[in-house]
Amino acid sequence: IRGKLLDPKARSVQLSKLLPNTQYLICVLGLGNWMTPLPEDLGTNQNSTDDLINTGSNLA
Protein backbone atom coordinates (compact mmCIF):
# COMPACT_ATOMS: atom_id res chain seq x y z
CA ILE A 1 0.00 0.00 0.00
CA ARG A 2 1.58 3.26 -1.09
CA GLY A 3 -1.04 5.65 0.20
CA LYS A 4 -4.59 5.79 1.39
CA LEU A 5 -6.86 8.83 1.66
CA LEU A 6 -9.65 8.82 4.20
CA ASP A 7 -12.79 10.90 4.28
CA PRO A 8 -12.90 13.56 7.06
CA LYS A 9 -15.21 11.48 9.31
CA ALA A 10 -13.14 8.25 9.14
CA ARG A 11 -11.78 6.96 12.45
CA SER A 12 -10.08 3.81 11.18
CA VAL A 13 -8.97 2.02 8.05
CA GLN A 14 -8.37 -1.63 7.28
CA LEU A 15 -5.05 -2.32 5.60
CA SER A 16 -5.17 -5.29 3.26
CA LYS A 17 -2.37 -7.32 1.71
CA LEU A 18 -0.20 -7.30 4.85
CA LEU A 19 1.78 -10.42 5.67
CA PRO A 20 1.94 -11.99 9.16
CA ASN A 21 5.25 -11.90 11.06
CA THR A 22 6.39 -8.90 9.01
CA GLN A 23 7.34 -5.49 10.35
CA TYR A 24 5.90 -2.43 8.65
CA LEU A 25 6.66 1.26 8.94
CA ILE A 26 3.36 3.15 8.94
CA CYS A 27 3.29 6.93 8.65
CA VAL A 28 0.09 8.87 9.34
CA LEU A 29 -0.31 12.47 8.21
CA GLY A 30 -3.13 14.63 9.50
CA LEU A 31 -3.74 17.47 7.08
CA GLY A 32 -6.30 20.21 7.42
CA ASN A 33 -7.59 22.77 9.86
CA TRP A 34 -7.77 20.94 13.21
CA MET A 35 -8.88 24.03 15.16
CA THR A 36 -12.22 24.49 13.40
CA PRO A 37 -14.85 21.86 14.34
CA LEU A 38 -17.34 20.69 11.76
CA PRO A 39 -20.71 22.52 12.01
CA GLU A 40 -22.60 19.39 13.08
CA ASP A 41 -20.07 18.81 15.90
CA LEU A 42 -20.49 22.27 17.44
CA GLY A 43 -23.51 21.29 19.55
CA THR A 44 -21.84 18.22 21.03
CA ASN A 45 -18.67 20.15 21.90
CA GLN A 46 -20.66 22.78 23.77
CA ASN A 47 -22.63 20.16 25.69
CA SER A 48 -19.54 18.27 26.81
CA THR A 49 -17.88 21.52 27.95
CA ASP A 50 -20.97 22.48 29.96
CA ASP A 51 -21.02 19.03 31.57
CA LEU A 52 -17.38 19.39 32.62
CA ILE A 53 -17.98 22.85 34.10
CA ASN A 54 -21.00 21.63 36.06
CA THR A 55 -19.15 18.56 37.30
CA GLY A 56 -16.19 20.67 38.42
CA SER A 57 -18.39 23.08 40.38
CA ASN A 58 -20.10 20.18 42.18
CA LEU A 59 -16.75 18.80 43.35
CA ALA A 60 -15.79 22.00 45.22
pLDDT in tens, 8-48: 788 888 888 889 999 999 888 877 776 766 666 555 544 44
Provide the whole-model pTM: 0.39
Report CA Rg, the chain. 19
The pLDDT, as a whole number, for residue 26 is: 87
Contacts of 4 (CB under 8 A, 6+ apart): 13, 15
User: What SS3 string covers 31-42?
Assistant: CCCCCCCCHHHH
The residue type found at 36 is T
